[in-house]
Amino acid sequence: MAIDCYSSRAGMAGLLGSVLALAVFPISAFAAEDDGAASDDQGGRAPIVVTGSREGAFNPSANPQAPYKVEASRNDKLTEPVRDTPRSVTIIPKEVLADTGATSFRDVARSTPGVTLATGEGGNAYGDRVFIRGYEARNDVYIDGMRDPGVSSREIFAVEQIEIIKGSAGAFGGRGTTGGLVSLESKKAQLRDFAVLEAGLGSDAFTRVTIDANKRLTDTLAIRVNGLYHDGDTPGRRQVWQKRFGGAAALHWEATPKVTLDADYYYLDLSGMADYGIPFDTRTQRPFAVDPSNFYGAVGRDFLSGGADIATVTLRYKPSEAVSLRSMTRYGAVANRYVVSVPGRPTITAANPAQWTVSVGTTQRNAISRSVDTINDATIHLDTGGISHTIVTGMEYSRERVRNRRYAFPAFVEDQAGNQIATTTTRVLNLLNPNPFLAAAVPALPDLTTPNSINTVETVSGYFIDTLKFGEHVQLTGGVRYDDYAIRATGGAGAAAYDRKQHYGLLNWQASLTYKPITAATLYASVSTSSNPSGEQLDATSDVYGGLGVGTINLAPENNRAYEIGAKYEIAGGKMLLTAAAFRIDKDNAREQTAPNVYQLVGKLRSQGFELGASGNLTSRLAVFAGYAYLDAKIIASVTPGFVGSRFANVPKHSGSVLVTYALTKAITVGGQAVHRSALFGGNFAAGAAQLPGYWRYDAVARVRLSDRFELRANVLNIGNKRYFDAIYRSATPYSYVAPARSGTLTLTAKF
């Protein structure tokens, strides 16, 4: 299958045709009593009632609140319910995504405790860059349990739930995963009929239409299609906008009682204006006190575009009740292309602030990430001497290739009057009143003189995970994974040409002890490891940004060990889960730059703290999704004495959010969300003086059920129009990503 259609929308047209074809099925073909917005059956492990919907799913005539609690992970390697899984797992269902007004992975990360947004920089990609429990995780994002290589901007229109597994997870996810990993779980076809159409309008030219239609074609065959149209400006930012088209198609076929086939295809086309925010004031070590809507880009040159084509086939064979075999294969291509202006340090020598200027540079990327991945494993249930085992064992092969080309710009362009204008990648703008409009458009052309930079990783992995149950109260989970990891990086020209290779063996493990005093409660202690090989950040080409460079090519992998103790407890008849965990993650041989192009494994880092969580429905009217994370992340040892005791850069000490919704009647639900993040400090290895202030942000949601088929939902985000910032660039001349200002949307949902 050829999957590379970013220059045209032919693939999208075909998918939307399928979407519309399903949408115009006679309404009588869909079961009116089913709610298509209810969560899926969680990987086939939850019980199914004869109507075809998940037991306990939202029923508007009986329960006015949608469920906020997810019973089980969709990851086949996590075989126990979330309540009994011996590590921190946060699962965000699509009901929570809707009530918080999220439309992208970035929106989700912005309000998730323990997860921190960071900037895309000159040496790594602009997109979904996050930290988990203090450690870089931009290459630790997965789709349905398979790594999604490279960095891009991800949509959630076809996402059923988002799973965040916290703590070192090398035994489950392979390389990286120091602070954890994120998996976006796709909407799968089901053997029931439903259709959900959502159409939203809002402030800042917001328009969003999605359709989710599932059709049971036979007793054993079903198809599900999702479509997306999204267009809107970024609230509070001039000239910054995004337009997104998407489509997804999923097929489910129960070929025999023992053989099941699932196939799905995901498509996304994204365009917009790239934005690096506002300059930084080095006098106050805060973002400059300018109008937060000021845009320092170049209208007529800067842009953002990208997309994804991902096809997956999963075959399951269950020869007996005790054994289940899985073979999952994926081919994916993800594009990330942009030219973006970089606001540098302002010149403030003039006495009149109105005359202050800022020098604006340019950075760019024209990258496509391709991957082939296959997982073949078995889940086995057996008893040995009174001990019950659930074993997951298998092998994985993946090949990831990230190619980045450069753009070139013409030396001269012609304005509307026919005048020749010299182009430059550096401009000087007025700080207080920047004029982002170029006199003439400057096209970004393929650079035919500079070779591509290409990073390729080939990995062969084997893993074995066993959960042993000693009666009803005690269980032990042990897991081990070995990754044969080979990386090659090429690029440059002439004297600057390079061809670097490295080959590692990564061995990681997890051991967990669980005690269940009663069915509703779980106490656990866990130790796990992970590894960070040189070059693991495939979007980068230099050492300083995590690429395979001359300073790190001969270094052994960094090793991490995570410790966690925790408790989980179900209340409200099992409909709400409370969690608490204390953790520590040690990196004992951190890479540290000791001289130009020289790195050594001499640092020691420690991230420790605790997290609290609550998710579910206290009553049929009251739903809660909340969390809090305290993070004490410090440098324990360094060749630079001044770094010892310093906090990690880009990591806040406190973060938390609380979403509460209450059904006033069966027809009316109101709610609100509070999000908090304490101050975070910029820097490279250690946090410096540059900081982003902490903030509280408040959102509101209201749902009005017009009938069993129609509902109106209103979201107001950042009610107080709080001026706050997502992330800070780490250099001595940083810039700051401006978070969205106040916005409001009204969405009509129709269910058939």
pLDDT in tens, 251-285: 999 999 999 999 999 999 999 999 999 999 988 99
Q: Which single residue is written with the structure tokens 């995901």?
A: 266
Strand partners, 663: 669
Least Cα distance to 166 among 467, 593, 564, 544 occurs for 564
DSSP 3-state assignment of 740? coil
pLDDT of residue 46: 41
What would the two tokens of residue 138 be?
Answer: 């931009």
- Return d(Cα 235, Cα 104) in angstroms, integer: 15
Cβ-Cβ contacts under 8 Å for 262 (sequence gap 6 or more): 188, 189, 250, 251, 252, 253, 312, 313, 314, 316
Number of residues written out for the chain: 752
Cβ-Cβ contacts under 8 Å for 707 (sequence gap 6 or more): none
Least Cα distance to 214 among 182, 234, 188, 185 occurs for 188
Least Cα distance to 390 among 340, 463, 322 occurs for 322
Q: What is the CA radius of gyration of the chain?
A: 25
Type and span of the H or E element at 252? strand 241-256
Distance of CA 18 to the CA centre of its chain: 28
Q: Which single residue is written with the structure tokens 């007025």?
A: 430
Least Cα distance to 636 among 710, 597, 671, 585 occurs for 585
**Mean per-residue pLDDT pooled into runs of 10, the chain (752 residues):** 39 36 33 39 39 39 73 95 97 96 94 89 78 94 91 94 96 96 97 97 98 98 98 97 98 97 97 95 92 96 96 98 97 95 86 90 94 97 95 98 94 90 92 95 92 96 98 96 97 91 97 98 98 93 90 95 98 97 97 92 97 96 97 96 93 96 96 96 88 96 96 98 90 84 98 93
Q: Where are the beta strands (DSSP E) in 597-667?
A: 598-617, 622-637, 654-663
- Return d(Cα 236, Cα 255) in angstroms, integer: 52
pLDDT of residue 352: 87
DSSP 3-state assignment of 273? coil
In single-letter form, the type of residue at position 472 comes to E
Residue pair 637/603 in contact (Cβ under 8 Å)? The answer is yes
Residue 624: Cβ within 10 Å count = 20
Residue 165: Cβ within 10 Å count = 27
DSSP 3-state assignment of 316? strand
Give the CA dihedral 285, 289, 291, 294, nearest 10 degrees.
-30
DSSP 3-state assignment of 16? helix
pLDDT in tens, 676-705: 999 999 888 899 899 999 999 999 999 999
pLDDT of residue 15: 35
Distance of CA 75 to the CA centre of its chain: 16
In single-letter form, the type of residue at position 379 comes to T
Distance of CA 558 to the CA centre of its chain: 24
- Return d(Cα 421, Cα 285) in angstroms, integer: 37
Residue 497: Cβ within 10 Å count = 10
Least Cα distance to 751 among 716, 709, 718, 719 occurs for 709
Residue pair 149/459 in contact (Cβ under 8 Å)? The answer is no
What would the two tokens of residue 700 be?
Answer: 């509101």
Sheet containing 725-728: which strands, arranged edge to edge?
286-287, 278-281, 735-738, 725-728
Q: Where are the beta strands (DSSP E) in 618-648?
A: 622-637
Residue pair 172/165 in contact (Cβ under 8 Å)? The answer is yes
Cβ-Cβ contacts under 8 Å for 304 (sequence gap 6 or more): 126, 153, 242, 270, 271, 272, 273, 274, 337, 338, 340
Distances (CA, A) of 359 to 333, 342, 511: 36, 8, 53
Task: Map out the domains of the chain with their CATH numbers.
Answer: 10-751 (2.40.170.20)
- Return d(Cα 126, Cα 274) in angstroms, integer: 8
What is the DSSP pairing of strand 695-705 with strand 725-728? unpaired
DSSP 3-state assignment of 587? strand
Task: Convert 358-387 into a string of H (helix), E (strand) and C (coil).
Answer: EEEEEEEEEEEEEEEEEEEEEEEEEEECCE
Average pLDDT, the chain: 90
- Return d(Cα 344, Cα 358) in angstroms, integer: 6
72 burial via Cβ count (<10 Å: 0-12, 13-18, 19+): buried
Cβ-Cβ contacts under 8 Å for 571 (sequence gap 6 or more): 520, 578, 618
Distances (CA, A) of 471 to 36, 389, 468, 476: 38, 11, 9, 11
Residue 718 has phi, psi (to 5 degrees) of 55, 60
Least Cα distance to 153 among 126, 116, 124 occurs for 126
Distances (CA, A) of 716 to 36, 99, 512, 704: 24, 10, 42, 15
Q: Which single residue is written with the structure tokens 């073909």?
A: 29
DSSP 3-state assignment of 89? strand
Least Cα distance to 225 among 158, 165, 159 occurs for 158
14-38 b/e with 16+ CB inside 10 Å = b? ebbebbeebeeeeeeebbeebbbbb
